[in-house]
């Protein structure tokens, strides 16, 4: 891949991680609203700050993909018909909303209800960003991307990264206080999503090999793709086994924080390899 494609790997993963964190935080808030005794209080401040930082860095990475970053504003001129323009506008709005959420939480400005509304609005914008990302790639000229696996994988990555970041925060919090009551639910969600991604890999490789792109660029679906897929699967399975061990109470000499960080690293490796595989499978068959 060239440098611009690496910028897209960074942009999509960072933005999806940011969206995922906000989605999980909002879900935890809804749980806390039904169970006031389980309110996470300030336990979510750290993840929200991570979400805002990821959005900012993702936005910066997206500029690195452009040949002339100074003219990035021109991308907003075709919102009515272009998914690229929609992605740009939604990404900017989401990043601004994520920063607003952190600012409100840090300063305590506004009522708790208004701060909750700000988080929900940011989460909704985030979902729109991920949807726009997936639709942008689903074009006939890119047969390797133009299928339902694209939005499925993007949204699975979004929720998975959000859940794992919250797991790490919960593990760190458990070192001095009680872990979040939803700790087990986060673990089970991550396990299910990891399993889903591993199960989808063979279908993804099989479909790629049958596409017209395979005849044009065998390298895109050959040994490199196989090794990328195997690496992604290995990292995902290792992360899943760590989480299964936590569910069963088998931690060995590792502390909960160490397990959480190790899981996050393995998931990050798995997602990076999967995203590299996604972009490496790109072969343009005609005008987009």
Query: Which residues, in sequence order, are CB contacts of 230 under 8 Å at separation 6+?
Result: none
Domain boundaries, given as residue ranges, for the chain: 1-137, 177-288
Return all residues near 54 (Cβ < 8 A) that are at least 6 apart. 14, 15, 17, 18, 21
Distances from the Cα of 109 to the Cαs of 39, 41, 49, 134, in angstroms?
A: 19, 16, 16, 35
Compute CA distances 246 → 115, 127, 184, 266, whole Å. 33, 30, 9, 15
Please report, for residues 29, 49, 55, the alpha-carbon distance to residue 128 in angstroms, rounded to integers and kept in the order given.
20, 21, 14
C-alpha span between 268 and 261 (Å, rounded): 10
Q: Residues of 224-256 as b/e, b for ≥16 C-beta within 10 angstroms?
A: ebeebbebbbebbebbbebbeebeeeeeeeeeb
Mean pLDDT of 192-218: 72
pLDDT confidence bin for 214, thresholds 50/70/90: very low
215: tokens are: 């005849």
Contact 122, 94 (CB under 8 A): yes
Whole-number percent of the chain with pLDDT over 70 = 78
CB-count burial class (<10 Å; 0-12, 13-18, 19+) for 106:
exposed
Q: Model confidence at 75, in pLDDT bands (50, 70, 90)? A: low
Per-residue pLDDT tens for 146-168?
889 899 999 999 999 999 999 99
Query: Taking residues 5-21, what's their average pLDDT?
Result: 93
Contact predicate 173/43, CB 8 Å: yes
Q: CA-to-CA distance for 160 and 223, rounded, in angstroms?
A: 27
Residue 236 has pLDDT above 60, yes or no: yes
Q: How confident is the model at residue 184 (pLDDT cuts 50, 70, 90)?
A: confident
Please tell me the total number of residues recorded for the chain in this structure. Answer: 288
pLDDT reported for residue 20: 97
Read off the pLDDT of each residue in 111-119 and give the average, rounded to a whole number.
85
């Amino acid at each position: 891949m060239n440098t611009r494609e690496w910028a897209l790997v960074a942009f999509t993963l960072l933005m999806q991680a940011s969206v995922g964190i906000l989605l999980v935080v909002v879900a935890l808030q809804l749980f806390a609203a039904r169970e006031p005794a389980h309110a996470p209080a300030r336990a979510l401040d750290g993840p929200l700050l991570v979400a805002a930082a990821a959005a900012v860095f993702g936005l910066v990475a997206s500029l690195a993909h452009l040949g002339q970053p100074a003219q990035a504003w021109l991308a907003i001129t075709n919102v009515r018909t272009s998914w690229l323009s929609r992605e740009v506008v939604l990404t900017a709005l989401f990043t601004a909303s994520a920063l607003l959420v952190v600012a409100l939480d840090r300063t305590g400005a506004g009522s708790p209800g208004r701060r909750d509304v700000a988080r929900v609005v940011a989460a909704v914008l985030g979902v729109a960003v991920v949807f726009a990302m997936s639709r942008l790639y689903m074009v006939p000229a890119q047969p390797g991307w133009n299928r339902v696996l694209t939005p499925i994988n993007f949204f699975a990555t979004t929720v998975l990264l959000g859940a794992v970041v919250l797991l790490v925060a919960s593990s760190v919090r458990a070192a001095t206080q009680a872990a979040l009551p939803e700790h087990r639910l986060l673990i089970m969600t991550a396990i299910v999503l990891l399993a889903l991604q591993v199960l989808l890999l063979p279908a993804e490789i099989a479909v790629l090999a049958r596409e017209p792109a395979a005849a044009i660029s065998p390298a895109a679906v050959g040994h490199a793709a196989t090794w990328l897929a195997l690496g992604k699967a290995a990292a995902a399975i290792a992360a899943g086994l760590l989480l299964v061990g936590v569910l069963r109470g088998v931690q060995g000499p590792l502390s909960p924080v160490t397990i959480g960080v190790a899981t996050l690293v393995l998931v990050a490796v798995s997602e990076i390899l999967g995203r590299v595989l996604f972009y490496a499978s790109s072969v343009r068959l005609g005008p987009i």
